[in-house]
Structure 1
């Protein structure tokens, strides 16, 4: 498999010679690897506030709540940027400055969610890239977007920490089985079954053989910035500790998808708040 044939054309870092708040070394690392981990960005009091609100939301039910397959355990809660108590975190000064530094444009929340892996029962997320779905199903023109993970509880090897394939963001990897671009398709069920949008096996193997897989261990208050075209996934939570994180996806205002068939809570169709 010749990886040159699927090399990414779009920039990873859109700004030039802007080294604040991320310094030149950090920007270079993100550009080369597709992610960067930043320690102690959110203070412990704020983490406690997040955790309290997450526990309250865990007992709710609605269209934006996804449970584990054939279980009542919650897997994901979408559209959390509409939660007043979580507003300060997706509008966090450092986070927004870093996002705009990389994307070099005004941004808006494209997707937001809590990823919750309950102790012992939290299930895996198959390896995938977000951009496969955002581009093929939603119609996002370019990967001029970024994901921010806010670590709420410790993320370790044992409780299903994120795994990434470094440098995989530099290639456009086609899906083995693409999600249908059809409003009648049950996109919510697919978040449980994960039958679609995994990377083609031959290419995926080649990327792993070339670049390996890295576990992203995080402590509460750490954040992870990663490119939406980066291949990532996570294993089951086999530990007695819950794994909880907030995830905010920011998109450039000039990169709005042309026509998304997914529900608004999965792919924000409305640019109401611009930063």
Structure 2
């Protein structure tokens, strides 16, 4: 039997409990803070984030910083201890490193970036509270073999498997390579964050071991995806190395395989509001490991 929290019957975002997918309209805001409040994001950028579910920052990092972080990604991928540990996810086809999780704890450089006001300050501004790191990782999508990520809402997984109560979390993807339409760039359905797609299929034991390489449970059905795509369209998050995209936890997003020679690597942080701390998983037998979903809710220093 799938374990659920006591509040299951009152949960608005039930998922993986029915044989029929359901679309549930969101009632919570996307920008929880004061849109006129001080912070790195302008009023116009916050309005765009509320409307579309994402906002882009054309040049978050300088070229010198990009080179420094890129060297750190190469160092981590080449470290046999990191590669052999649970934090590393290896590509099925190429046997190359796909992702490294909880990277802020094994890299002082990345840890400092997570607390940088350019990064955490934007998250606090959007979520209207102190924030903690729910997840950090680096993603490697090498040329000729970098696998894609099928369409999904992160909140669906974080709610079902981690126990995140509400979609009061924001991700920031910081590009360390140029993002083209053809090298597996991030794709988002703008406005899709306002609709939760309840998925079909019960969560297996230790589902994370397979889902981090190729997710099946927790992915939306084709009919729901078609409806959202017809309603909202699909935007490609392209841009130069050093650019960044912040997007809401319930955005429908994904990326295709990279069959070009041009890699697409990024640093990825997920900030959750301290007022939205995890409880027991809503629709999974047990919580995922802490290197994937932190249960230390200590605020990122401001």
TM-score normalised according to structure 2 size: 0.85
Deviation track 1:125-167 (CA, whole Å, cap 9, x = no partner) reads 1000100011111111111110011110011112100011110
SS of residue matched to 1:6:
strand
Larger displacement relative to structure 2 (187-196 or 167-176): 187-196
1:31 aligned residue (35, 50, 67): 50
In 2: Cα distance, 1:178 partner to 1:172 partner: 17
Q: What is residue 239 of structure 2 aligned with on the other side?
A: 218
Gaps of 5+ in 2: 1-21, 282-286
Pair 1:14-2:37 in alignment: no
Please report how far the alpha carbon of residue 22 of structure 1 lies from its aligned counterpart in structure 2 after TM superposition: 1.3
Alignment of 1:109-188 (within 5 A): 109-180=133-204, 184-188=205-209
In the TM superposition, what are the counterparts of 1:194-233 in structure 2 within 5 Å? Answer: 194-233=215-254
Partner of residue 98, structure 1: 122
**Structure 1 residue 63 corresponds to structure 2 residue 81:** no
Matched, 1:270 2:272: no
SS class of match (1:105):
coil
Question: Which deviates more from structure 2 when the two are superposed, residues 55-64 or residues 19-28?
Answer: 19-28
Gaps of 5+ in 1: none
CA distance in 1, matches of 2:137, 2:220: 23
Tell me, yes or no, if structure 1 residue 259 matches structure 2 residue 287: no
Question: Matches of 1:19 and 1:170 in 2, distance apart?
Answer: 25
Indicate how the Cα distance of structure 1 residues 272 and 5 shifts in structure 2: closer, same or farther if over 3 A, else same: closer
Q: 2:269 aligns with which of 223, 233, 248?
A: 248
Contact 1:133 1:179 in 2 (8 A): no
Shift in Å, 1:39: 1.0
SS at match of 1:127: strand
Q: Is the 8 Å Cα contact of residues 177 and 195 (structure 1) preserved in structure 2? A: no
Question: How far apart in 2 are the matches of 1:158 and 1:239?
Answer: 7
Instruction: Give the CA deviation at 1:231.
Output: 0.4
Contact 1:174 1:200 in 2 (8 A): no
Are residues 186 and 176 of structure 1, via their aligned partners in 2, closer, same or farther at CA, if it must alter by over 3 Å? Answer: closer
- In 2, the alpha carbon distance for the partners of 1:237 and 1:27 equals 31
Poorly superposed stretches of 4+, deviation over 4 Å: none
**Distance (Å, rounded) in 2 between the aligned partners of 1:176 and 1:218:** 35
How far apart are the structure 1 equivalents of 2:24 and 2:210? 30
CA contact (8 A) 1:151 1:222 kept: yes
Aligned length: 269
SS in 1 for 2:40: coil
